[in-house]
Amino acid sequence: MDASRVESFVSKKWDDEIVPQLVDYIRIPCKSPMFDADWVANGYIDQAIAQMEQWARAQAIDGMTLEVVRLEGRTPLIYVEIPAANGGRSDDCVLLYGHMDKQPEMTGWDEDLGPWTPVIKGDRLYGRGGADDGYAIFGSLTAIMALREQGLPHARCVILIEACEESGSYDLPAYVDHLAPRIGKPSLVVCLDSGCGNYDQLWCTTSLRGLAGGNLTVRVLHEGVHSGDASGVVPSSFRILRSLLSRIEDQATGRILIEDMHVEVPAERLAQAQEAARVLDTAVYDKFPFLDGMTPMADDLTELVLNRTWRPALSVTGVDGMPSLQSAGNVLRPFTAVKLSLRLPPTLDGKRAGELLEQAITQDPPYGAHVTLELEKASTGWNAPALSPWLSTAIGEASRAFFGQPAMYMGEGGSIPFMGMLGEKFPGAQFMITGVLGPHSNAHGPNEFLHIPMGKRVTACVSHVIHQHALASQRGETVGVAAVAGGEQHGGHGCC
């Protein structure tokens, strides 16, 4: 491989085609079904699918087939298959994954920015979804085209772009089952939906947290009443809700009090957290837009990395039953409801965590209040399998070739449900989980942006790894995960 030719090819493709495509994509408010109940009628998801389909079909890739698969009652999925080339294996498969649905608008955007208003400032393309995860199909196809431009080998490649990742990927298992005969058994999975600690080197994700959450509602009255008349007699629904949350979270430290929601951090992951903390230094926390005088939850940088990647943590992400400040009268309200988002350690069973959460909150409610927890999500996280020597070498080479720095490994605090599903479906697969969501890129929040040079370099790195996968296979190396006694595939050395 001529790395300079790959770099030049990828950069030109990004400048001439990918960035303009992403500008158009950002304008489409293709919110995930959880945030747009009328997504079918609104048609934005179909609009984004059509845009990506049109661009992909225009690419000069011999033998490529593309289908927009539509299972009844489900969001659509883009399925792309590219045959092996230049001596790559047809009986193997590299699976590349991304999604095109988006988070909702969120408030707080700068005056000249907005979720559906693409703006380029220097190296940054602002707007919802460009980095999370609209660039995935463009980057995946470009990585493969960069190999073909030099006549380099690659195995058969399959690209899946789903449309409900931000809602928990609930449609994806049906599609994976439906397409299983066509997908085959991939020995390498590449996911472009993760984060990076900085924009100076390739970052590979070693683990992802699970997620349990839903709507907690506390009801005390059939209707609101005069607060002066009722306070001191009728318990406040807000106070009851606050006390219920204190059952699961230490209000002083944020530590989750349900001991069965904690797991032992594997030694390898602890070492990776320590190295990430050393390299990032204060960037571990100062990438967040803290107010003046605010401090992070711990002084120890390694502890902050572990808090974000291997420990349970609770966020309240929505509220109902409360009027705005402008229209709040002197009323003791009949109910308070909040949306809970409880991040789980990667190896904790999500279903069990949901049961523990519901049990802790709903048992013996104070004053006999009517307490319900409507669980929307209870998904298990993911801990990467042991990294094969060829992949460890390829990742290191790619980072040095296109960044001039060694690759880094770190867990991520978010969830990608697809990874856990694939780990179970294809236990022999290796994983390269990476992405462009670095400091201040603010996925899901206001002023989200894609760092364009990072997108180019990650694309080039993926190209290198796919090529090395083919070469390792030609050398007769085991490119997937070697069989492990008892079928255990998690933990172990390095990963990506």
Mean pLDDT on 256-283? 96
Please give the model's pTM, rounded to 2 decimal places. 0.87
The percent of the chain in helix, strand and coil, each rounded to the nearest 5, is 40, 20, 40
Average pLDDT over residues 151-177: 95
Strands (E), 380-425: 382-383, 408-412
**Rounded to an integer, what distance in angstroms lies between the CA atom of residue 309 and that of residue 315?**
15
Give the integer Cα–Cα distance in Å for 475 and 20.
Answer: 40
Rounded to an integer, the average pLDDT of 246-273 is 97
Answer yes or no: are the C-beta atoms of 128 and 447 closer than 8 Å.
no
Given a contact cutoff of 8 angstroms between Cβ atoms, the answer to whether 161 and 99 are in contact is yes
pLDDT > 70? residue 487: no
**Residue 444 half-sphere exposure, CB side, CA atoms within 13 Å?**
11
**pLDDT reported for residue 427:** 87
Query: What's the CA angle centered on 178, arms 380 and 164, to 5 degrees?
Result: 50
pLDDT reading at 449 higher than 90: yes
Query: Phi and psi at residue 168, in whole multiples of 5°?
Result: 105, 10
CB within 8 A of 489, min separation 6: which ones?
385, 386, 423, 427, 481
The predicted model gives 190-210 an average pLDDT of 95
In sequence order, what are the residues at sequence separation of 6 or more whose Cβ sits closer than 8 angstroms to the Cβ of residue 15? none
Tokens 């945030």 belong to 35
The first and second tokens of residue 95, run together, are: 């699976």
User: How many CB atoms are located within 10 Å of the residue 360 CB?
Assistant: 17
Question: How does residue 181 score in pLDDT terms, banded at 50, 70 and 90?
Answer: very high
Residue pLDDT, tens place only, 118-152: 999 999 999 999 999 999 999 999 999 999 999 99
Provide the strand spans (E) within 261-309.
none
- Supply the mean pLDDT for the chain: 94
Compute the average pLDDT of residues 5-21: 98
Q: What is the pLDDT of residues 28-80, one digit of tens each?
A: 999 999 999 999 999 999 999 999 999 999 999 999 999 999 999 999 999 99
Q: In what order do the strands lie in the sheet with 382-383?
A: 382-383, 203-208, 408-412
> What percent of the chain is predicted at pLDDT more than 70?
97
pLDDT on residue 416: 81
Please give the C-alpha separations between residue 110 and each of 23, 117, 253, 284, in angstroms, as whole numbers.
Answer: 18, 11, 32, 24
| Residues present in the chain in total | 496
* DSSP category for residue 131: I
The residues with which 96 forms a beta bridge, in sequence order, are 159, 190
Q: Domains in the chain, start-ordered, CATH in brackets? A: 3-208+381-487 (3.40.630.10), 210-275+309-379 (3.30.70.360)
Nearest to 415 by CA among 366, 370, 380, 376: 380
Per-residue pLDDT of 358-388, as tens digits, reads 999 999 999 999 999 999 989 899 999 889 9
With CA atoms as reference, report the closest residue to 462 among 192, 153, 57, 206: 192
Exposure of 221 in the CB half-sphere (CA atoms within 13 A): 20
Closest CA to 382 of 192, 139, 210, 177: 210
Using pLDDT thresholds of 50, 70 and 90, give the confidence band for residue 482.
Answer: low
- For residue 171, the tally of other CB atoms under 10 A from its CB is 20
Banded pLDDT at 426 (limits 50, 70, 90): confident
What is residue 23's three-state secondary structure?
helix
